[in-house]
Amino acid sequence: MKHPIETAAEHIRATAAEATETLNLGGAWPAGLPLETVILLALAVIGIISVTVVAGIPIVLVLMERKVSAYFQNRLGPTRVGPWGLLVTLADGIKLIFKEDMVPPTSDRKLFRLAPYVVFAASFAVVAVIPPFQSTVIGNMDLGLFLYLAISSLIVLGIIMAGWASNSKYSLFGALRAAAQIVSYEIPLGLAVLMIVMTTGTLNMQHLVMDQADGIHAWYMFRHPFLFIGAFIYFISAVAEVNRTPFDLPEAESEIVAGFHTEYSGIRFAYFFLAEYANAFIVSAICATLFLGGWAAPFPFLSGVPGIVWFLGKTMFLVFIMMWMRWTLPRVRVDQLMSLCWKYFLPISFVNILGTGVLALLEREEIGAQLGGLFLSADAVSWIAFPFILALLGWIAHSGTEPVRRPS
Amino acid sequence: MAAPKKALRTDEMVLSMGPQHPSTHGVLRLELKTDGEVVEEAIPHIGYLHRNFEKHAESLPYFQIIPYTDRMDYIAAMNNELGFVLAVEKLMELGGKPIEIPEKAQYIRVVVCEMNRIASHLLAFGTYGMDIGALTPFLYAFRDRETILGLFEDICGARLLYNYIRFGGVSRDLTPDFHHKLRRFLSKFEKNIDTYNTLLTNNKIFLERTKGVAVVSVDEAVQYGWTGPNLRGSGMKWDLRKDEPYSIYDRFDFEIPVGETGDCWDRYKVRMDEMRESVRIVRQALDQMEENGLLDDPNYAAKVSAKLRPPVGEVYFRTETPRGDLGYYIQSDGTNVPSRVKVRSPCFTALSAMRKLSRGLLVADIIAIIGSIDIVMGEIDR
């Protein structure tokens, strides 16, 4: 068996040869440079460009958040730097870069320095698997969805590192809250994603979108009721994953100052800050891709509009909902957060999985055609049963759970 | 054979919350003994804002003490002034040298105090929202508070520390368009209260966070000496404006809102309802001023000598500030300087229950309690 790197190199070489042929660059290579070097250079350039573009996302989002919050609060928000305050995030970024790099003397210096990069890298790496339009994914791999779940879990590692290394009590509180919260909410989130996988049998994000490309009725959210509920569970869990209000306990400023990044300042703080917004974007993008058809147009006659418009439109809509929630809702308490996850989302998710499984089975075995097919398809039957499913879920959520008891 | 392993010994973690902390409402320091998220004990440490008010007052002529009272409860300075001024006026009356206060001054005092009560409760509402994690109510509250402060600026030039209420009246007359502006604000503000109730008071998460948290029964509240909205939140109908009417509060028709269970939400809700009652009082005061032709009356203050010398004697006088019974004890030795001034602070008694209330709650609940008892450190430390 060949070493994976060799396989990859061969693959690259083949692709490059193909590209050379297609683009008619036959004799245009700079003299003396071996093909691999050129490819590496090209990859580096592409990498730098894409990282720059991706890094632009949180910068836009920060401005958006400031404007959205301002309009929610009868304010104007930033107006001074650039037209309509457009450059204010850049100005903030420059300010943060020039700030003194403070490392608390009692901290674990190595971990303290490393933590922001872990969070930053983990959140940005996920971008690779999201298909922004029809032809392109940075990494079009068959395990895309799995990679997302795997890499995004690394963020909590960085947060715990930051909280522990700071050697501050508030940071520790924030880090422990983050650990408990993110790890807990990964379960309903993973289960919601699992439903999609059960329905389609693929983990490739691009294939998932193509499967939804027929129009709004084909979007997974509207396939059948279990997925409809699953979409909400996914989105709420995702909000909890990225620590945004009402689940912003790890950085609840009225309780634990700034949580895990209390001791951070300057550019290291900026890394956390940017990663937070990148995360908000990424979970929204994944939600849009998984449940709302990604780059696919909602109606066939609109398919002339470029996919990136749909993709960004749907994602930004979800991001806007997150901001809306943040500037409207108070924060839940830590025990309420946990009870929501373990007592409500988890049982509901299990029922969802069961329902999805039954529907998938009916479809595959063509039992559906024999049973429901007399009149309607199995999916249509399940939509009719939707109110009953909701009632069942409500009953499950309420039975066996008592009101949150005070811990004393 | 190895000795059996001892159980892992864990210590409580002492978290020093404050004096610089986003939600300790000033410079309160809480020593939290925590076991994970659970707080075993919260010990308040006070004194970071101590400015020696009572000792200062012993070396100042009566007139010069008024601005110092502003700086106690700086959120509701008008009410603090009124308490002190009324106490001194009472002292004069007891000594047989009463000051005749013009009708107009009486009304102005009530109007500005109730306006300040609204401003103070707005701040309590806004910051409570922020403590619970909702940032928007704060901005909404400040929008309305801004209007009130603007009106205060019109009449006395100051926005926070007014030095407006004086012995025998007030320092300046109302501006000619004051009551128009005020009426416009009141009608707008009444609708805004409904918005606030929708936005925060009846929010599901907010209810979950505050209902049933830190329940204080009427008995406990009385034992701790709680007064004001905190006591009323526990369900006791006790308001000095009704029960021991001072100034001209007996001329107005208003309700005293009370809570049911005495949890954080009830204490908060009492304040929200009190704002409505304050609006009613201000409206009635403006109406009565208009009916009696007081708006154009130039007589807004009695002539009182700058060297006010209350007769020998002592007085204890209490008024209902937005935070509860604020009592002034003043002892006069017949000179123009009091020989003793003592303040009974409502916030201090409210905070004294903190240690008991917080036992066994979560860190987030501690913040909910501090916000719900609405303390101002300036008044506790004095």
B15 close to A (CB below 8 A) = yes
Paired strand residues for B50:
none
Each residue of B195-254: pLDDT tens digit? Answer: 898 888 888 888 888 888 888 888 888 988 888 899 998 888 888 888 888 888 888 888
Q: How many CB pairs under 8 A join A and B?
A: 94
Task: Pull the structure tokens for residue A223.
Answer: 């396939």
| Other Cβ atoms closer than 10 A to B254 | 18
Cα of A201 to nearest chain B Cα, Å: 38
DSSP for B161-227, written as a single string: ----EETTEESSPPPTTHHHHHHHHHHHHHHHHHHHIIIIIT-HHHHHHHTTSS---HHHHHHTT--
A399 close to B (CB below 8 A) = no
Cα of A124 to nearest chain B Cα, Å: 28
| Contact between residue A131 and residue A206 where contact means Cβ atoms under 8 Å apart | yes
In one-letter notation, the amino acid at residue B143 is R
Each residue of B107-149: pLDDT tens digit? Answer: 989 999 999 999 999 999 999 988 888 888 889 999 899 999 9
Q: How far is B275 from A101, CA to CA, in rounded Å?
A: 48
ipTM over 0.85? The verdict is: no
* Higher per-residue pLDDT: B23 or A139: B23
Question: In B352-369, which positions are buried (b, 16+ CB within 10 angstroms) versus exposed (e)?
Answer: ebbeebbeebbbbbbbbb
Distances A251 to A259, A261, A291, B105 between C-alpha atoms, Å: 4, 8, 29, 50
Which among B206, B207, B208, B196 is positioned nearest to B136, based on CA atoms?
B196
Q: How far is A309 from B257, CA to CA, in rounded Å?
A: 54
Contacts of A246 in chain B (CB under 8 A): 133, 205
Query: In Å, how far from its chain's centre is CA A408?
Result: 37
Residue B152 pLDDT > 60: yes
Task: Pull the structure tokens for residue A239.
Answer: 């909000």
DSSP-based three-state secondary structure for A146: helix
Q: How far is A229 from A231, CA to CA, in rounded Å?
A: 5
B22 close to A (CB below 8 A) = yes
B94 close to A (CB below 8 A) = no
The whole-number average pLDDT for the span B83-93 is: 88
Which among A391, A345, A366, A110 is positioned nearest to A247, based on CA atoms?
A345
Residue A407 pLDDT > 50: no
Residue A375 pLDDT > 60: no
Under the banding of pLDDT at 50, 70 and 90, the label for residue A103 is confident
B38 close to A (CB below 8 A) = yes
Which among A157, A132, A237, A162 is positioned nearest to A193, based on CA atoms?
A237
CB contact under 8 A, B139 and A74: yes
Each residue of B175-201: pLDDT tens digit? Answer: 888 888 999 999 999 889 988 988 888
Q: How far is A174 from A313, CA to CA, in rounded Å?
A: 33
Instruction: Provide the mean pLDDT of chain A.
Output: 79
CB contact under 8 A, B133 and A246: yes
Under the banding of pLDDT at 50, 70 and 90, the label for residue A403 is very low
| Contact between residue B347 and residue B379 where contact means Cβ atoms under 8 Å apart | yes
Residue A34 pLDDT > 70: no
Q: Which of B134, B140, B360 sits opposite A330 (nearest CB)?
A: B134
CB contact under 8 A, B38 and A407: yes
* Higher per-residue pLDDT: A396 or A201: A201
A361 close to B (CB below 8 A) = no
Each residue of A328-362: pLDDT tens digit? Answer: 888 888 888 888 888 888 888 888 888 888 877 77
| Other Cβ atoms closer than 10 A to A17 | 11
Each residue of A132-151: pLDDT tens digit? Answer: 766 665 666 777 788 888 88
B134 close to A (CB below 8 A) = yes
Distances B17 to A318, B23, B34, B344 between C-alpha atoms, Å: 36, 9, 11, 26
- The rounded percent of chain B whose pLDDT value lies above 70 is 98
What pTM was computed for the model? 0.82
| Contact between residue B143 and residue A74 where contact means Cβ atoms under 8 Å apart | yes
For B362, nearest residue in chain A (alpha carbons): A407
Q: Which of B21, B203, B362 sits opposite A333 (nearest CB)?
A: B362
Residue B3 pLDDT > 70: no
Q: How far is B89 from B106, CA to CA, in rounded Å?
A: 13
What are the backbone dihedrals phi and psi of residue A405, each rounded to the nearest 5 degrees, phi first? -95, 145
The whole-number average pLDDT for the span A192-215 is: 82
B215 close to A (CB below 8 A) = no
